Structure 1
């Protein structure tokens, strides 16, 4: 079964769920400004640690992966709908990615961890595979998920596995960022994020295997669209995915959590940890997606996330603008006073307010404000926009 509809309810809800989880993570991280307030009582520090560990266990490295999966799914829907009309969507998609890059660079001014600009560049990988057979797409996706560069580093480390490695290159950039996050003006933050911060995030994404993982998830999302797995009635499929994902996640998580048990040197451990962490995150992402789909078909209240999902671009950018204004020094400077508990409370309030805004806006418009701009510019010069 293939998906010919332009919108699936579960996709909107799942995307909204990912937006909320990203909002909560970004808040406890102070939007990449890692800082522990001084003078907190021991009991509050203990609660903060539980919240931090729990949210990163649930969503760290998984929420953005859900977004990547749905990005590929959305590409399939758009490509397939145009194909039914005898049109090739790929040139228009390339232009759409250019527009997404512009949105991403704007968002990067406020939050250097922006994922939109990275998706915009890596999304180009979908263009050459769009018309390949599913077997070939699967083969390419699996190859990317295997983290080929990290395996090359493993081979390079074998002659001297105990060699001492320098700190990852991204750390230097993030260390510089902390200074202007705390003390810089808004302009200094914006320019720092677009230069120093952006380089640091790209380096970090390379160091942690995201550059390979993201296009692989795009392709898997496209294949999910081809096979109609998000259409209601596929509960048996999602139960199988859930079982396999849980069975895969348990050993990967154990290996990731206790790398000292591997008893290998640092030069060998670092690339192996990148590989295992990547696989662990993908497995748990599959747990979250399959669980959400199974619950959505039986518990329609999960549609509460749908308004945020329908306005995911607007929601993502707005949370960066508001969040950094709350936590960074040029704004309220709340990084100095909020541990994970209070930051989580702020994140919940912001998510609720953002959802209410989405409901209000969508009652008056068919799309979110940034979604409307993206849609209109995507189809600029075309007479067929749907």
Structure 2
């Protein structure tokens, strides 16, 4: 097998990003964009169906779609950094500015959906600036250390050495309780103000409490390495690599999953259980995410399957636009200021709404890209990134 062309590699990455968008849309809809509401009047069989659908959604996509997105975030940084390096430019300061723009996009997205991840990416993505010129070994070492969840291990051993220590409740809990007030009774302005203040604080605190502040930068660095080592350039050796990765990921996932499931049976003390649960959960999600990525890369080489997966390219190419689009439309569908379907939809019904929303998103992306090279928000982001800051003299 000969090396794939650059365009084929980018198609693979765009399709994989499109797959991550699909997973994000489905899980967000099944959660009704984090609108927690018990459907009291639904028949028992439908409640049981909703519970099973939601369980499957979390099992397949929860923590995995975000991880794929993070991995490709690091890959995209490598591509941009490499392109600017070939032109003789130092991309690092430009990337810092680019992350500031992403932070603004993140707050715009947060106004509609408080579970936004763009702001966290904009902040944690800065880790790529000081490490991008390090050796592969150094970058991999840093990624492994971060993925090991050192903060959680510190918490675990501190609690182990101090038997009387009782941790304080997660700070995000109090914020989510306040969020419920405007989610249930507020108007659109209440939602916007609440989301960008209470909601943003809750989301970032939850990410910290659940190990995302360690895992996300690790994934950025691994994505950067994938780009540098050219693991998405599919030749025979790389295909063998991804087959090995798939096997190892499956072998790791199974015991980690069951360990996380049964851990509370062996450790009852929260001060010890919580950091271990976060760590094992992080590793479990990483293992399953790796299964998804390796499987996707391998299936993309099968012509019949590739013809199907290639339909994900447009939505992946417009990843930023698609991500914010699903937040705006999805929140309008479920929240009180919109159609208020949170009252009438469980996870099963919302799954079909999510599929419809995804197909609508794909149709829009295909239509847009017929006459444009980039999505509307990608175009704005690109133009703002490469603004020239120069002072003119008389």
Shorter chain as denominator, the TM-score bin is: over 0.9
Deviations 1:115-137 (A, max 9, x none): 00110011100000000000100
Q: What is the distance in 2 between the residues matched to 1:315 and 1:161? A: 49
Q: What is the distance in 2 between the residues matched to 1:75 and 1:10? A: 16
Structure 1 unaligned blocks of 5 or more: none
Alignment match, 2:263: 259
Q: What is the distance in 2 between the residues matched to 1:189 and 1:4? A: 46
Within a 5 Å distance, the mapping from 1:162-201 to structure 2 comes to: 164-201=166-203
Residues 1:231 and 2:238 aligned together? no
Deviations 1:131-151 (A, max 9, x none): 000010011111111111111
State whether residues 12 and 300 of structure 2, in contact with CA within 8 Å, keep that contact through their aligned partners in structure 1: yes
Within a 5 Å distance, the mapping from 1:263-342 to structure 2 comes to: 263-298=267-302, 299-300=305-306, 301-342=308-349
Q: What is the distance in 1 between the residues matched to 2:178 and 2:292? A: 35
Tell me how far 1:159 sits from its aligned partner: 3.4
State whether residues 28 and 344 of structure 1, in contact with CA within 8 Å, keep that contact through their aligned partners in structure 2: yes
Alignment match, 1:127: 129
Q: What is the distance in 1 between the residues matched to 2:29 and 2:145? A: 34
Residues 1:79 and 2:81 aligned together? yes
Deviations 1:234-282 (A, max 9, x none): 2111101100111111111111112223334221001110110001010
| TM-score (norm. length: structure 1) | 0.96
Out of 132, 154, 157, the residue aligned to residue 156 of structure 2 is 154
Q: What is the distance in 2 between the residues matched to 1:160 and 1:285? A: 35
**CA 1:3–1:275 in structure 2 vs 1: closer, same or farther (change >3 Å)?**
farther
Q: What is the distance in 1 between the residues matched to 2:325 and 2:27? A: 15
Structure 2 unaligned blocks of 5 or more: none
Alignment match, 2:362: 355
**CA 1:264–1:4 in structure 2 vs 1: closer, same or farther (change >3 Å)?**
farther
Tell me how far 1:84 sits from its aligned partner: 1.8
Alignment match, 2:204: 202
Alignment match, 1:110: 112
Alignment match, 1:249: 253
Secondary structure in 2 matching 1:39 = coil
| Paired positions, count | 383
Q: What is the distance in 2 between the residues matched to 1:116 and 1:165? A: 30
State whether residues 98 and 381 of structure 2, in contact with CA within 8 Å, keep that contact through their aligned partners in structure 1: yes
Q: What is the distance in 1 between the residues matched to 2:321 and 2:59? A: 26
Q: What is the distance in 2 between the residues matched to 1:152 and 1:163? A: 13
CA RMSD, Structure 1 to Structure 2 (Å): 1.8
Mean Cα deviation higher: 164-173 or 142-151 = 164-173
Deviations 1:161-180 (A, max 9, x none): 58654431101111111221
Secondary structure in 1 matching 2:338 = coil
Mean Cα deviation higher: 151-160 or 125-134 = 151-160
State whether residues 172 and 205 of structure 2, in contact with CA within 8 Å, keep that contact through their aligned partners in structure 1: yes
Mean Cα deviation higher: 314-323 or 253-262 = 253-262
Q: What is the distance in 2 between the residues matched to 1:29 and 1:307? A: 25
Out of 28, 31, 37, the residue aligned to residue 29 of structure 1 is 31
Mean Cα deviation higher: 304-313 or 226-235 = 226-235
Q: What is the distance in 1 between the residues matched to 2:154 and 2:4? A: 38
